[in-house]
Amino acid sequence: MPNESARTVAVALIAGLGVALATVAAAVVTGSPALAAEASHSVADTANDLFLLVAQRRGSRPRDERHPFGYGRESYFWALIAALGVFIAGARSPYARASSS
C-alpha cells in the first residue's frame, strides 16, 4: 500500500510540474494576470506534492534505536509544512490583490 500511494503522489508531482511549466510559459507569452495567478497556483500544488512525497518517504523509514516507534509521525510534520506553504503562497499572490481593484 505505501508503494501505491507513493507512486500516486509521484505521478501527481510529474503531472503538476508539467501543468506548472505550461501555465508559466503561457503567462509569460500572453502577459495575462489570470494565467499568472493560475501559474502560481500550479507551482504551489507542485510544491505541495513534493512535500507530501518527502513526508511519505521519511515517515516510512523503519524504526531504529533512536526512534523505537518509527518515523510515522514525521509524515504529519511534512503534511503541515505542505498545507502552510499552499496557504502562504495563496495569500501572498500579487495577482490576487491586483484583480480586486
- DSSP-assigned letters across all residues of the chain: -HHHHHHHHHHHHHHHHHHHHHHHHHHHHH--HHHHHHHHHHHHHHHHHHHHHHHHHHHTPPP-SS-TT-STTHHHHHHHHHHHHHHHHHHT-HHHHHTT-
Question: Are 56 and 6 in contact, with CB atoms under 8 Å apart?
Answer: yes
What residues contact 57, with CB distance under 8 A and at least 6 apart?
6
pLDDT of residue 18: 94
The pLDDT mean for the chain works out to 82
Q: Stretch 87-97: mean pLDDT, rounded?
A: 64
pLDDT in tens, 42-82: 888 888 888 888 888 888 888 888 888 888 888 888 888 88
pLDDT in tens, 5-52: 778 888 988 999 999 999 999 999 999 888 888 888 888 888 888 888
